[in-house]
A and B are shown apart, each in its own frame.
Chain A
Amino acid sequence: MIELRCLRKAFGGKPAVHDLSLEVHKGEIFGLLGHNGAGKSTTLGILLGQVFPDGGEAFINGVSVQRERAQALARTGAIFEAPRFYDYLSGWRNLEIYTSYSARVPKDKIAEAVEIVGLTGRIRDKVGTYSQGMRQRLGLAQALLPENELVLLDEPTNGLDPEGIHEMRLLIQRLNRERGITVLFCSHLLVEVEQLCDRVAILNQGHKVFDGRWADLESDRRHVRLEVDEWEKSAALLRDIVDLKIVERGVVSVKNEFDTAELVTRLVQGGVRVRAVEPQRRNLEEIYLSITHNGASPRADL
């Protein structure tokens, strides 16, 4: 559904996105994860034709956004961290105004979108009287109209309280499940992306450092903490083992399928007294930090 090919963009000589390629399949919730300034919003801007890339191209349903923007975005909606509206107009009027730039949308379609996001009772009120959560829901309603198949969400839970975040997450999941809407979800919050997305790409300083399923990310490697008498001697023995990396004193990183018994055997055969071996399963946050701090290929570092 979405294909990014070698996107490059720099602002004032500083790269914001570097050689970014990825694919989002129809019907999935795809997460674009990265810290602030990682290049998520720039990527989204390029995808919406709001930012002109220095190189590369973005496609939606096989249509180039850079060459055929109107056709590419015909069934695409988006909201940004804080969706902006005309506060002095009603929610309904805002929806009418925004959707008029896509197509003539029948009133019942607007009413349906309003009902989906649960704003029916307040839609005739001025947006200026809405809470942040209501604004986000109105933003989502406008992103669904006229009959969008793809929704791009840039930090959609920013400024929401925990209950609002929970509601928004359920709403996105429901839209994906019941209506088959494809979602590209950008966030710097690991937990949010983890709870919502099927697949994820992690951006770090404009570079893609991971692209795949959470399962791939979690199960790829694990850390093993070793308690030994002579670390230097142990380290020398361990350096010969393929697929093993020394992370720090007493901690090594190994592939998940690696047999810990072999590790112990090697050390004992080398004359090292092993007093404890403790597998350490890293949580997603540690994995994410490891990826983004090392900045290189994630699979090599995990």
Chain B
Amino acid sequence: MSLFFLQLHGELWKLFARKRTYIGFGAFFGLEVVILILFQLPKVQRSFRHIVEQAGYGFEEYFSGVTLAFQVLYWTVFLLGGLYIALVGGDIIAKEVEDGTMRMTLCRPVSRLRVLTVKYVASLIYTGVLTLFIGLSALAIGLLRQGVGGFFAFQPLQKLFVLYDFNEGLHRYLYSLPMLGITLVSVTSLAFMLSCFNMKPVSATICTLTYFTTDNIFRNIPYFDSIKPWFITSHIETWYNVYRSPVPWAQLTEDLAYLMGVDATFVLIGVVAFSVRDFKS
């Protein structure tokens, strides 16, 4: 087992010593700042004020750091979430095969399953670290700009409209981060699976993004409402459920179990594809 951690340590070192890994962090941070600036525009604040005051609450109380953090989190994940996870997930095997370093690793007396396990765990850690970075940096810049105050979230598509005091809002926000991370593992797993096939890293990334974008489009076509649970993105959005009151634990558990099943299937297909491949220059 200790050898596993030694290998994982090396894998993480490789991952986090690479400049390319930090593109996602930089891009998210930049986007968070842009969204925050846009929320300061009078026109945007007017519409925000209208929604809060129509519900009978004070805008000044609920236009707080944690409210802004949620908005920033929601929109950055929606816009860029899959992209950077798919980028790293798609690279994790295919780039090494392309660069020839995988052949060097496979000269060693180690099973292909072990190599894949180490790499998959490393990509899960990356997914977790990126999610936490997005969530905590959004919270930090939200609190720095707007300070403490009540929490307000309104997302019509998800039929989400909630108001909490600061403590409750902060707790729910922090709980939502691991949930978000777990749901995004499906993006990691699909990119990882494709990366195990004989394809270029960029193809693995593009195919992953294509799949999730298509899935998201199909899910939102009204005629497909009755088959909505068939689409993975329907289950990925379950992370919002921790903001509902009461939290629909049964729904949340079902969605997460579904996603874990999907993730396991992706990984299994990837492992089988990788295990039967010939590696030759």
A residues with CB within 8 A of B: 11, 41-42, 45, 48-52, 69-74, 76-86, 88-89, 93, 96-104, 142-143, 152
Contact = CB atoms under 8 A, between A and B. Distances in A.
Contact of B105 (A11, A88, A101): A101
Nearest to A78: B107
B115 interface: yes
B4 to A, nearest CB: 10
Contacts of A51: 278-280
Contact of A81 (B6, B99, B281): B281
A11 B99 CA distance: 22
Contacts of A77: 107
Interface string B93-118: 00000011101111111110011000
Contact of B7 (A71, A81, A88, A100): A100
A102 B108 contact: yes
Given A41-B280, A89-B14, 12 more contacts: A11-B278, A50-B103, A51-B278, A69-B111, A79-B104, A80-B103, A82-B100, A84-B100, A84-B103, A84-B104, A98-B105, A101-B110
Contact of B100 (A48, A80, A98): A80
Given A48-B107, A50-B280, A51-B280, A103 B3 contact: yes
A41 B276 CA distance: 18
Interface of B: 2-3, 6-7, 9-11, 13-14, 17-19, 99-101, 103-111, 114-115, 276, 278-281
Nearest to B104: A84
Given A41-B280, A45-B280, A88-B19, A104 B2 contact: yes
Contacts of A102: 108-110
Contact of B3 (A72, A82, A83, A100): A100
A96 B9 CA distance: 10
Closest CB pairs A-B (n = 4): A84-B100, A101-B108, A97-B10, A73-B109
Nearest to B20: A88
Nearest to A87: B99
Contact of A71 (B9, B105, B109): B109
The interface centre, meaning the residue of B13, B108, B114 with most chain A CB atoms within 10 A of its CB, is B108
Nearest to B106: A50
A51 B6 CA distance: 27
A100 B110 CA distance: 10
Contacts of B276: 52
B278 A101 contact: no
A203 to B, nearest CB: 15
A97 B17 CA distance: 13
Q: Which of B10, B18, B109, B281 has the most CB of A within 10 A?
A: B109
B104 A142 contact: yes
Contacts of A73: 107-109
Contacts of A100: 3, 6-7, 9-10
Q: Which residue, A96, A97, A100, A104, has most C-beta atoms of chain B within 10 A? A: A100
A141 to B, nearest CB: 12
Contacts of A79: 104
B248 to A, nearest CB: 44
Nearest to B114: A101
Nearest to A90: B17
B278 A52 contact: yes
A290 to B, nearest CB: 29
A37 to B, nearest CB: 12
6 contacts: A84-B99, A89-B13, A97-B13, A98-B108, A100-B9, A142-B104
Q: Which of B17, B276, B278 has the largest count of A CB atoms less than 10 A from its CB?
A: B278
Contacts of B9: 100
Contacts of B3: 100, 103-104
Contacts of A42: 280
A283 B2 CA distance: 56
Contacts of B107: 48, 50, 73, 76-78, 143, 152
Contacts of B105: 98, 101
Given A88-B17, A104-B6, A50 B278 contact: yes
Contact of A41 (B110, B115, B281): B281
A125 to B, nearest CB: 14
Contacts of B7: 100-101
Contacts of B2: 104
Contacts of B19: 88
B104 A83 contact: yes
Nearest to B275: A52
Nearest to B278: A51
A100 to B, nearest CB: 5
Contacts of B103: 50, 80, 84
A10 to B, nearest CB: 11
A98 B115 CA distance: 11
A103 B7 CA distance: 10
A122 to B, nearest CB: 18
